[in-house]
Structures are given as C-alpha cells and as structure tokens.
C-alpha cells in the first residue's frame, strides 16, 4: 500500500486522470474476459467441447488462438529485451523465423494431417495421440508427465514478464500482479473451456496487432525515427566492445542467433499447446485460411517485438560487464516508461492480452492431459461430469503451483525469463517434435524410437540445466565451441530438437514393429485414404 501511495504522488493531476483511465480500461477488459467465460459455460458441457471446442472452430479463431498462444509477455518482455540487447536489430530475424518456420511451415506441414489423423483416432491431447498412433499406453503416461512438469516453468515465465510491466505501469507489487492474473485466467478458462479461450484469443489478438504497431512507432520516435535510431545503434558497443555491429543485417553473433531462431520457431512443431490447435480446426478449407492469417499475425507481432527489442540499448545503460544495469528482463519495461501515459496503458493491456491467452492455453493443455491421459485410466467410475470437474480442479492446482514458482523466480535476480522458457521449450519440443511429425507421415516409426526421443529430449535439457544453469558439482565446463555458446539453454534446446529429428529414424530402422503394431498403424493411416476419397467426391 505504501509503495502504491508513493507511486501515486509522482503524478500530476493530469497524470492521475490518465492513471485512473488505465484502470478503467483494464477493468473493462477483465470484465469482458470473464463475461465470455460465463457465456460459454453452458456451451462446454462435454469433454470434447471443453478441450477442443467440439472440433468446430473456424480459421480466424484458430489462427488467432495459435498466434496468441505463441506470443506472450515472454516474447515481448523477456526474449525481445535479451536478444535485442545481444544481437541488435538483427534480432528481427527471430521474428521472421517465427513467422516463416513457426507459423507458415507449421500450418502447411502439420495442419491438415494433424486435423485428419487426430479426428480419425479420436485423440484429444498429444499424449493420447502417442497412445493411439503407436498402440502404447506407456507412451501416453510418460508424455503426459512430461507435459505437466515442463509446462510449469513456461507458465512461470509468462507471469514473470507480465508482472514487471504491471509494476512499472501501476506501482503494484509483482506478487499481487501474479495472483490477480492467475485468478482471472482461472475464472474464464474453468467456466468456458476452449471456446471461451478461442474467442478471448481473437479479441486479444486484435489488441496485440494494433498495440505492437503503435508501440514500435512511438519508441522509434524517441530518437528521431528509424534512420537516426539505426545510426545511434551503430555507435553502441556489442558484448565484445565492438561498434558498428548492432545495426547490421546479421548482427555481432550470427552463429548463436541461429540457435534462437531454431528454438523459438521449430519448437512450435512439438509443443502440445500449439499443435492441439490443429486438432480443433473445422475443415481443410479452414486450414488454408488459417495459414495466411496466422503468418500475417506472426509477421506483425513477432517481427514487431524483436525489432523493437533491437533498440533496447538506446534506453538502458550497461554495467561494467556489458549487461543491462537492471537486468535483461527490465529492458522492455524501461523502454515503455518513455511512452505517453495513455499509450503505456495500452501496452499493459497488450501484454496482459498476450499473457492471458498463452496462460489459458497452457493450463488447459496441462489439465486435460493429466485428466484424460493419467487420472481417467486409473479411475474405474469416472463419467464425463467427473472428468470435467477434475479438469477444472487441476486448472486451479496448476495455476497455484506455477504462481509459487513465479514468485520464487522473481525474487531470485539471477533468474531470467528466457532461461525458464528455453528449458520448457527444449524439453517439450525436444521430446515430442520428431515422433509427432514423423508419426503423421511415416508408418515405420517404432515405439522404441518414440521413447528414445522422449528420453533424449528431456535428458539433454535437464542435464544441461543441472550442469550449466544450476551449476551442480561446480565443474569447470567449456563455455564455447567455435563461437557457439555451450552454456546457452537456448542452444541446448535447439540441439535437443534437431537431435530428435535424427535419432527417431535411426532407431526406427534398427528396431522392429510387432505385428499388432503394424496392424494398428495401417488402421491409423486409413484416415488419409478416406480423406482422399472424400475430396475426390466433393470435386466431382
């Protein structure tokens, strides 16, 4: 309370008016989100409706749900700030990679086949896909545990990014920001399920598109526009003390920049909260429309965020080691302080929109996987009503756990948002990307190859975290190899994904499928033959 009173004294009368206006906008926005949850409460009476919206979600809603789940406060505050500081305007390549690889190619390669196969085998979650595609209950159980465990640090990173901006904009201690965000997200997700989330994502996506464009223009205007800002960036020293690199096309460190592009772009192909958007889309026509909409959304939002972050050094001083004086996660909030008061209020709603959409997707994915893939098989008498109640209870439990972790990490100044997200994405996509993608196209993938991918993806990420991030054993480990940072959790995550793409076909060729597994695979792949017949009939 004392902190908030001190914050309020800094404002003039006009400033107080604009501060009140910020609160009004925020309250209206939150009321709208809850209203949507209440509206869809009765329309989410079945598990299929609650988890996948009845598999009838249109292309625009699905595309915006995909984009808003992809880009959150983690991107806007954590990644844009850190990578903009490290790579300058070349960080924009990360946004381009997100649009081309993470959105366009993901939709083109995975969209149609994911929708067809998951509908055919009646899979509602990624663990359920692994069970039915590979005829293995063990794969479902292991993958469900991986989902639940490694979505938690990602959720914590979302809280982390949002709370830093709220503390700047409203003077509210971050603990209360985290608690408030968790409560409001829980209300509308628990009430309305996927349909409420999809509509909220659409509204939130519109806010993000408009907000990012306005913020980029305003920030560049602080230093005389684009050309002058680029000139000033050229005068800034990079991590090695060199000037004239932070305003160039590929920046001072293109090798490690590639690792960031791979993790943040290719990673979406193996993240359950992203891939499951394809489960819910209505039809093939919707896939085509959704591909275009999702890609344009990514170009504006991701491209805008990373381009904006590339000018971070113009707004914050460096310490003796060349790092930002207030830490990497404070760069973007510090940039936002330079904005007009009303525009800063819009930014708060923008980041809140991005974060709540991502958070709702994460908790819905985690709770549905835990209920459908772990708890229900162990319960003999779980009907659909009990299943829904269990999911809703787990949403609350998941949020409570992630809130505790978020508060702990925020109180630890050494924790960086990008590190939390890298660990989460590295483990999840490292484990799931290869067996999921290959499983859509190739009949020859074996159970052993899938389990190997699970072990390697989680193992590489976890071992790297213990040795380099947590520094267990205090070993004198090499930090670089030919310019590549070995200590970077981002590069470790990128390596885990690429390693999975190599190891799955190798193990599949070495091991054999049992006759019952081959029979199951043939039944699963019949879905594409049925789809071809349906398409031919429609054309005729």
More confident residue, 338 or 309: 309
Give bridge partners of residue 281 from the DSSP assignment.
Answer: 57
- Judge whether 402 and 154 are in contact, CB under 8 Å: no
More confident residue, 235 or 354: 235
What's this model's pTM, rounded to 2 decimal places?
0.84
More confident residue, 402 or 507: 507
Which residues touch 286 (CB under 8 Å, ≥6 apart)? Answer: 58, 59, 62
The pLDDT score that the predictor gives to residue 266 is 93
The pLDDT score that the predictor gives to residue 479 is 87
More confident residue, 191 or 130: 130
More confident residue, 190 or 138: 138
Burial 460-486 (b: 16+ CB within 10 A, else e): bbbebbebbbeeeeeeeeeeeeeeebe
- Judge whether 417 and 351 are in contact, CB under 8 Å: no
Q: DSSP secondary-structure letter at 324?
A: B
Q: What is the mean pLDDT of residues 371-399?
A: 78
Which residues touch 68 (CB under 8 Å, ≥6 apart)? Answer: 201, 204, 205, 208, 353, 354, 357, 358, 361
Q: What is the mean pLDDT of residues 18-33?
A: 73
Pairing verdict, β 484-485 and 480-481: antiparallel
What does the mean pLDDT of the chain come to? Answer: 81
Q: Which of 217-226, 334-343, 371-380, 413-422 has the lowest mean pLDDT?
A: 413-422
pLDDT of residue 53 exceeding 60, the answer is yes
Most confident segment among 63-67, 82-86, 153-157? 82-86
pLDDT of residue 231 exceeding 70, the answer is yes
Q: Which of 349-353, 394-398, 403-407, 445-449 has the lowest mean pLDDT?
A: 349-353
Q: Which of 127-131, 180-184, 481-485 has the lowest mean pLDDT?
A: 180-184
pLDDT of residue 401 exceeding 50, the answer is yes
Q: What is the mean pLDDT of residues 141-148?
A: 89
The pLDDT score that the predictor gives to residue 42 is 66
Q: What is the mean pLDDT of residues 29-49?
A: 72
pLDDT of residue 386 exceeding 90, the answer is no
pLDDT of residue 457 exceeding 80, the answer is yes
pLDDT of residue 409 exceeding 80, the answer is no
pLDDT of residue 308 exceeding 50, the answer is yes
Q: What is the mean pLDDT of residues 354-373?
A: 75
All structural domains of the chain: 2-414 (1.20.1730.10)
The pLDDT score that the predictor gives to residue 517 is 93
The pLDDT score that the predictor gives to residue 382 is 75
Tokens standing for 518?
């081959």
Under the banding of pLDDT at 50, 70 and 90, the label for residue 533 is low
Which residues touch 71 (CB under 8 Å, ≥6 apart)? Answer: 98, 208, 298, 301, 302, 305, 354, 358
């Amino acid at each position: 309370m004392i902190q908030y009173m001190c914050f309020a004294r800094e404002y003039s009368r006009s400033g107080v008016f604009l501060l009140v206006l910020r609160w009004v906008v925020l309250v209206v926005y939150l009321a709208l989100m809850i209203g949507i949850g209440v509206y869809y409460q009765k329309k989410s009476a079945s598990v299929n409706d609650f988890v996948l919206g009845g598999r009838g979600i249109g292309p625009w809603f699905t595309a915006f749900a995909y984009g808003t789940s992809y880009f959150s406060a983690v991107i806007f505050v954590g990644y844009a700030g850190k990578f903009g500081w490290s790579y300058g305007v070349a960080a924009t390549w990360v946004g381009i990679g997100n649009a081309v690889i993470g959105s366009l190619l993901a939709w083109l390669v995975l969209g149609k086949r994911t929708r067809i196969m998951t509908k055919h085998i009646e899979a509602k979650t990624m663990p359920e896909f692994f069970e039915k595609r590979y005829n293995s209950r063990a794969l479902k159980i292991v993958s469900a545990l991986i989902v639940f465990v490694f979505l938690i640090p990602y959720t914590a990173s979302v809280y982390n990014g949002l709370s830093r901006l709220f503390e700047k904009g409203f003077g509210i201690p971050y603990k209360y920001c985290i608690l408030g965000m968790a409560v409001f997200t829980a209300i509308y997700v628990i009430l309305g399920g996927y349909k409420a989330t999809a509509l909220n994502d659409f509204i939130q996506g519109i806010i993000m598109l408009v907000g990012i464009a306005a913020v980029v223009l305003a920030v560049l205007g602080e230093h005389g526009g684009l050309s002058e800002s680029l000139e000033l960036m050229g005068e800034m020293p990079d991590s090695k003390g060199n000037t004239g690199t932070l305003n160039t096309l590929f920046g001072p460190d293109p090798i490690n920049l590639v690792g960031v592009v791979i993790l943040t772009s290719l990673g979406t192909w193996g993240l359950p909260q992203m891939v499951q958007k394809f489960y819910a889309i209505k039809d093939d026509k919707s896939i085509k429309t959704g591909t275009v909409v999702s890609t344009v959304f990514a170009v504006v939002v991701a491209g805008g965020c990373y381009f904006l972050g590339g000018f971070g050094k113009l707004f914050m001083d460096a310490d003796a080691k060349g790092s930002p004086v207030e830490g990497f996660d404070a760069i973007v909030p510090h940039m936002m302080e330079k904005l007009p008061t009303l525009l800063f209020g819009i930014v708060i709603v923008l980041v809140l929109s991005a974060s709540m959409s991502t958070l709702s997707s994460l908790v819905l994915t985690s709770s549905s996987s835990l209920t459908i893939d772990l708890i229900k098989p162990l319960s003999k008498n779980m009907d659909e009503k009990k299943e829904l109640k269990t999911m809703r209870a787990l949403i609350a439990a998941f949020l409570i756990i992630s809130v505790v972790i978020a508060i702990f990490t925020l109180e630890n100044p050494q924790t960086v948002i990008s590190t939390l997200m890298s660990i989460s994405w590295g483990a999840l996509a490292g484990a799931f990307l290869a067996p999921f993608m290959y499983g859509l196209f190739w009949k020859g993938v074996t159970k052993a190859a899938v389990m190997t991918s699970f072990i390697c993806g989680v193992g590489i990420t976890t071992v790297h975290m213990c040795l380099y991030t947590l520094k267990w054993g205090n070993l004198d480990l090499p930090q670089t190899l030919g310019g590549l940072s070995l200590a970077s959790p981002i590069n470790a995550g990128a390596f885990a994904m690429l390693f999975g793409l190599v190891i799955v076909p190798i193990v599949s060729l070495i091991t054999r499928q049992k006759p019952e597994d081959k029979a199951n695979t043939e039944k699963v792949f019949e879905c594409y033959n049925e789809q071809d017949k349906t398409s031919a009939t429609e054309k005729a």
